[in-house]
Structure formats: C-alpha cells, structure tokens
Amino acid sequence: MSKDPPEVNKFLDLMRHGQTMRSTAAALLGQESHRAIYLNQALDAFQQALVFSAYVPALQTQMCLEHIRETQVDLLIVSKLLNRQQLHVRTSMPNEQPSRRAVKVLVPALPKSLFGDDGKLALAKISPRFPKAAPLLLLPTPQERPAKKAKLETPPTLLAIAETLLALAGPTLRRNL
C-alpha cells in the first residue's frame, strides 16, 4: 500500500487520464470534431487535477499547468480547423446574374419644419456652431413661412445688448459706470 494521501492518487489518476485523452486526440488526424471532444476531456481532467495540486510537489503542479496550456493551444488550433472546414465559399457562375439587394439606411426622421422650401436642411437653425443659430423651438412650420425667403437674424449677444443700453442711457449713466 502506498503512504500517499488519497488526494495525491486522485491527482495522478487525473493526470494520467488527461494524458491518455491527449494522446488519443493526437492519433485522430483529420477528424477534428473527434479531436476536439478528446481535447476537451483532457483539459477537464487536467483542470480537475489542478484542484489537488496542493498535495503534490511544485514540479508536478508546474507540469499540470503546462499540460493545461498545451491542451488549450491544441484546442485553439482544432477550433480554427473546424471553422475553416465549415466555411462554404460560393462563387457565382458565369451565366448567373449577380443578385442585387437594396440597402435601406435607417436614420432618425427629422421634423419637416427643419427643411426649407427647397428641401435643404436649415443647419443655421439647428446647430449653435453655425453663425446664425437660433433655438430649435422657434422654427416656423412650412405654413408659417413667408412667401419670400427672409434673411435669418441672429439673436443679439450680451455684448450687443450692453452696447445698445449704453447708447440709449445717455451721458449721465455712462459717467456713473
């Protein structure tokens, strides 16, 4: 009888099982779906063995980690091969008409009042970046628009309002400022 605790034996059994699954997967060249199954079982066995790694020397734990890493790489390669096999490339035949598909771009609808009579977007009314910006709430509807196009007025700035007040206030107010 061995003097090792049962956890050590469990670790060694799981490591052997994982190595057997990896060697079986290596023997199945060309059968990637079966290889993936065996590699998944091997990875599972190595990860279960890692649970019992506290009962074994650090060298065996390191070996278990290396087996996990190698199995993950093998699984990655097999999954790439499986994905490549599942891709079906269809080329059009010379006598076939190429199919055309209409693509509709979904854009949020803008209110009709944002468009001028000529159908162009009144950007000066929408964005404060444009020099003739006005609040969006003050946009006239198409029915309220005058027949001829009037020039859009910019709202006065605070500086312009202050200058106007100073001009109207007269000389007495200017002396007090």
- CB atoms closer than 10 angstroms to residue 55: 16
Q: What is the pLDDT of residue 139?
A: 53
Query: What's the pTM value of the predicted model, to 2 decimals?
Result: 0.47
pLDDT < 70 positions in the chain: 1-2, 85-156, 169-177
Which pLDDT does position 135 carry in this prediction?
A: 47
- Looking at residue 20, its pLDDT comes to 96
Domains parsed from the chain with CATH numbers = 6-85 (1.20.58)
Task: Report pLDDT for 85.
Answer: 67
Q: Characterize 32-47 residue by residue with b for buried, 16 or more Cβ atoms within 10 angstroms of its Cβ, and e for exposed.
A: beebbbbbebbbebbe
What is the C-alpha separation between 21 and 39, in angstroms, rounded? 6
- Specify burial of residue 62 (Cβ count, 10 A radius: 0-12, 13-18, 19+): exposed
So what's the pLDDT on residue 70? 94
